Amino acid sequence: MNKLVAVFRDVFDRPDLEIDGLTRSNFPAWDSLAHVKLIISLEEEFDFKFTIDQVSNVRSVEELQRLLSDGLVS
């Protein structure tokens, strides 16, 4: 979780950002460009590749946590 928080804080340039409950709809800064930057940063940090469907459908931190957790455990 700490690595995920660090990536969000870096991408959004907000060192105090809390990500619990964060979604694309309740955080206006999480626009399409930020989403692409976020996905790229997460793939680099976690050595993980999201599928096109995952990239286009993910809408929350909770979903990202689940995808990363499932992918890193498999």
End-to-end Cα, the chain, rounded Å: 18
Residue 19 predicted with pLDDT over 80: yes
User: The CATH number of the domain where 36 resides is what?
Assistant: 1.10.1200.10
The DSSP code sequence of 16-54 is T---TT-BTTT-TT--HHHHHHHHHHHHHHHT----HHH
Cα 38 to Cα 61, 65, 72, 73: the distances in Å are: 11, 13, 18, 21
Q: Domains in the chain: how many in total?
A: 1
What integer is the mean pLDDT of 20-44? Answer: 97
pTM, rounded to two decimals? 0.90
- Expressed as residue numbers, the domain containing 16 is 2-73
pLDDT band (50, 70, 90) for residue 74: very low
The rounded mean pLDDT for the chain is: 93
pLDDT at 72: 63
Task: Give the side-chain half-sphere CA count within 13 A for 71.
Answer: 15
